[in-house]
Chain A
């Protein structure tokens, strides 16, 4: 039934267009370097290429402005307005009345929102349940009013309600009816609706002609998995692909920019790449050794290596542009000083360090440069090369003294600081997330900032936390890297594309594909 209705929509749109022109459905083809999808359930999806598609199918109560990812651009989406209590604990949202679920699942009401947020908060159904721990109750006051009550203030409530991860709103009837199958048959409310999936091949979306902001200009999106770098670029060159997600290399951007009628763009949010140093294991338990490593790293050279357009030097232990980010004074590149520090620490002949390293090319090449930089200061970094799943398991078992990790999160300081530098998140603990360095120097500030209501005081706490982590050298920030994209100039966006939380361009009802 779902497919039939969408197909009808497509056909009728094509017929309307066909009064003047031959009926040719407009298909936008996107190619990404993946093998296959894992899941299109937004509350579960963690792979970049899964989120890329989810981006075009779902709404949140609020959203970041199209083409933007910063939380200060938040504007209404399904909710047309909202108010909060004085203490910031009770949030009341008034919903639009014209929102329809894809297919035959009918109008979206407050009970769908309640279901969806509860689903996002449950560890049984969501990978992001921890983010919603402070959501004490979510209630429908009437068909179009939703009230969220928090157990304690949190840094961003609206940030958790944008269509990203747990914030994507799914329709209750579809969620309960499809159960585990939802990930292969997602039902949302967004400008494009799921039609079909062919394993290892593509996901096909069709325009949601009943979208509450108006029917999309583009009829269909074909999201293709093209694992081979060369074939993907050739397919773009031959015109079979309109948008291509590229390689993390300046040379790729340069080559694409040289093609006719092509726009090359690096989308945010930028991932922060840093070296996490295990502070509990000798010789890294000595701060002088960690300082020596920081002095040995040449950020500018790394940026030059990865590409000036794709990357920029890191400025703190959280990515720039995040709410609460404050540029820090990082140790300068100074090989002599690094050698002196090692000698002071009792290692005049240098040190040997062990790192478990993934064979993913974009990460391995960076680490080869890091290895060469450290070697100049007498720090011998020994690789243990493993495939990516093994890498992820072993770095969580303290098997790597130096962990190279690149990440972007919801752009608010708290989440990044909590996951990477709060002692609760230390790997191997029951509450483990991704604190590979065993850093615990800023616990007090991170915790206090989490519930601080006064934004100025909160910013001060986050600033203090960053300063302490930088000073203790739990991690050595290196560079920030965006998402490389190229698209045909036939594609016309109504607004400039700076990025999106789901790391794909914002293709919505206003996006056009010229003939």
Chain B
């Protein structure tokens, strides 16, 4: 297994290098000049030239690339063109907020989605099944910014339970929970919808297997058959979806971050793109890739825990 992990990490390095190179050149091909964004529309040509020189943007692209690679190898991701602060520091500032939100949304989503999916499967083509399917379809179709605004209207304006601006700055645990509640629920609803649908179909398939029929035939209680025999066998596709979705969640939570005004990685990426902050984008893409690679690796390892037949070669 250690060999498997090491080999996967080896591939990860190659992936990272490819992403890094691609991002470096693509963002430089994009039109739009960071110096104009920084200096504004009244800056003289002289100021712009001076700034380009100071940021090293006047050098040939291949030279910039080599310098960037050299820095990256030493663990130096450069400084943000706009804020002048180290990229790593800017990312680490917001990363905890993103991880916190993602983790809570993930747990909530699984806690809601898994039982709902099982419930729908064991009641196939009966009312609970229809209800679950319609609700989960709604969850999949409603964009995060719509469900977010609805949550705000109901819980912040009408009921006044939560703040509109959940800055994630709370100092006590209760404050933090209050700040986190609505955005996490908003993301969890989408997550739960995915998990419900995958669990349902996977469970249906398992329930039609011979060993389930055998268990039923020998008189085992239905509850025990579902929870002890079927559940574990239907989890692999669910774990796959959760793993895939976790990667998407970390980058795509930007709409939720904007609606609830939370700091986060998604907002940082969008901001950096709007300002053509090259160094910032480079650093963030690498970190994002790293997270996706690690999550995928983790997913693969979880397979082994669920299903002892899975071998790591």
Contact = CB atoms under 8 A, between A and B. Distances in A.
Interface of A: 31, 35-36, 38-39, 44-47, 123-124, 126-130, 180-181, 183-184, 198-202, 224-228, 230-231, 234-235, 237-238, 240-241, 386-390, 392-394, 396, 407, 409, 419, 429-434
Nearest to A45: B40
A201 B167 contact: yes
A211 B270 CA distance: 39
B31 A200 contact: no
Given A184-B84, A231-B259, 6 more contacts: A46-B43, A181-B84, A228-B261, A234-B157, A237-B157, A393-B32
B30 A392 contact: no
B44 interface: yes
A199 B94 contact: yes
11 contacts: A44-B39, A46-B40, A127-B47, A184-B83, A200-B264, A234-B156, A237-B157, A390-B32, A392-B37, A392-B41, A432-B45
B152 A231 contact: yes
Contacts of B32: 387, 389-390, 392-393
A144 B249 CA distance: 59
B196 interface: no
Nearest to B30: A390
A390 B36 CA distance: 10
A456 B258 CA distance: 53
A180 B42 contact: no
B165 A226 contact: yes
B152 A234 contact: yes
Nearest 8 interchain pairs by C-beta: A46-B40, A389-B32, A235-B164, A200-B263, A123-B47, A390-B31, A127-B43, A130-B44
Nearest to A179: B84
A447 to B, nearest CB: 17
A189 to B, nearest CB: 24
Contacts of A431: 44-45
Secondary structure dominating the interface of A: loop
Nearest to A428: B45
Interface residues of B, number: 51
Interface string B141-170: 000010011001100110010011101010
Interface stretch (B124-132, B187-195, B271-279): B271-279
Interface of B: 30-34, 36-47, 50, 82-85, 90, 93-94, 145, 148-149, 152-153, 156-157, 160, 163-165, 167, 169, 258-261, 263-264, 267-268, 270-271, 274-276
A357 to B, nearest CB: 14
Given A228-B258, A387-B32, A393-B33, A38 B84 contact: no
Contacts of B33: 389, 392-393
Contacts of A199: 83, 90, 93-94, 263, 268
A469 B94 CA distance: 50
Contact of B274 (A35, A46, A241): A35
A39 B145 CA distance: 29
B263 A123 contact: no
Contacts of A123: 44, 46-47, 50
A47 B41 CA distance: 10
A223 to B, nearest CB: 13
A128 B271 CA distance: 25
Given A227-B261, A238-B164, A431-B45, A389 B36 contact: yes
**Residue in B40, B41, B145, B164 whose Cβ sees the most chain A Cβ within 10 Å:** B164
A121 to B, nearest CB: 11
Q: Which of A38, A202, A228, A240 has the most CB of B within 10 A?
A: A228
B85 A200 contact: no
A434 B90 CA distance: 33
Nearest to B83: A184
Given A199-B263, A228-B259, A230-B149, A389 B274 contact: yes
Contacts of A45: 40
A180 B80 CA distance: 12
